[in-house]
Amino acid sequence: MEIALIGDRHTVYGFRLAGIRRTLLMEDIRQEDVRGILKGLFDEGIGIILVTEKVAEQIRSILEEVSRFRKGIMPIVVEIPDSSGPMVKKIDSMRKLIKRTVGFETA
């Protein structure tokens, strides 16, 4: 199973040093080309697509749109922090659901 990464320069270089070959530098991609690139990754049989949180925020609508090209459960799209660390986000929907169901927030 192959892993691909879409991110900023520092994160991409770090993952290349770690051995991830399929890396895409968001700075080099035109916004209108993102949809085609993601669709290509889905078609190539990539198992996991890592996207940095800041990039994911920029292309959120495209990520949701191309997810319908998924065949089964693959590829899995995972948002990761970039080289500057995690973004402060509002409560994600899963945590909100757990809090509502259980009655308190888990650690």
Q: What is the pLDDT of residues 57-73, one digit of tens each?
A: 888 888 888 777 676 77
- Confidence category of residue 5, pLDDT binned at 50, 70, 90: very high
Question: What's the mean pLDDT when you consider all of the chain?
Answer: 80
Burial tier of 7 (Cβ tally within 10 Å: 0-12, 13-18, 19+): buried
Q: What is the pLDDT of residues 69-91, one digit of tens each?
A: 676 777 888 888 887 766 666 55
% of the chain exceeding 70 in pLDDT: 77
> How many Å apart are CA 4 and CA 48, to the nearest integer?
6
Q: Does domain 2-102 have CATH number 3.40.50.10580?
A: yes
What is the edge-to-edge ordering of all strands in the sheet holding 22-25? 22-25, 2-7, 46-52, 76-80
